[in-house]
Amino acid sequence: MSELKNYIRFISDNPKLDFSFLYPGDWQAREIKGSGYDEVSIIGPRNKEDTYSLGLTVSVIPTSEKGGQYANLSEFIADYLTKHRRSAKFSEISRATGSLAGVDATEIEIGYVMPLPINTVNPRATSIAERSIFLKRVTTSTKSRMGPSRKITTNT
């Protein structure tokens, strides 16, 4: 267990983020309560050019039966891809279905280009590779939630 000493356990006071996981000690965690979702983003250190970082985002999005926007996971995935298709040089790199922790899941990897760093005078066109795993989770209290359970974003 000595190799775990450089990791921090994410635990939230937010009841919608009722999970925990370990992440590297030099990464930064930030919880976000958005309109219709709750999430935690874990962001790794930037590279020397300030254009690359690795991150993990876990989002919890309720289904429409629980007050959310989307009726099902397929509808959410379709909207996610529609929004990203507007990005420069968008491509769907891969898609796979399987299971994660015993739950049906869909993994999608996309690529696009965006100017980075954001809000600077001379941003550079930067290729982004984003991998998401989408699943619908039913909690023990029978509340249905869905969304990208893991979203790993890299700038390459």
Of 27, 48, 52, 31, residue with least CA distance to 40: 31
Position with higher pLDDT, 22 vs 137: 22
Position with higher pLDDT, 135 vs 152: 135
Q: What mean pLDDT, rounded, does the chain reach?
A: 82
pLDDT of residue 148: 45
Q: Give residue 120's pLDDT band: very low, low, confident or very high (50, 70, 90).
A: confident
pLDDT of residue 88: 94
For residue range 11-59, what is the model confidence (pLDDT) as tens digits?
999 998 988 999 999 999 999 998 888 999 998 888 777 666 788 888 8
pLDDT of residue 91: 96
- Counting residues of the chain whose pLDDT is more than 70, the rounded percentage is 83
Helix, coil or strand: residue 119: coil
pLDDT of residue 144: 40
Average pLDDT of the segment spanning 2-14: 82
pLDDT at 140 over 60: no
The residues, any chain, with a CB within 8 Å of residue 125's CB and separated by 6 or more, are 88, 113, 114, 115
**Residue 143, Ramachandran bin (φ over 0: left; ψ between -120 and 50: alpha; else beta):** beta
Q: What is the CATH number of domain 44-155?
A: 3.40.1000.10
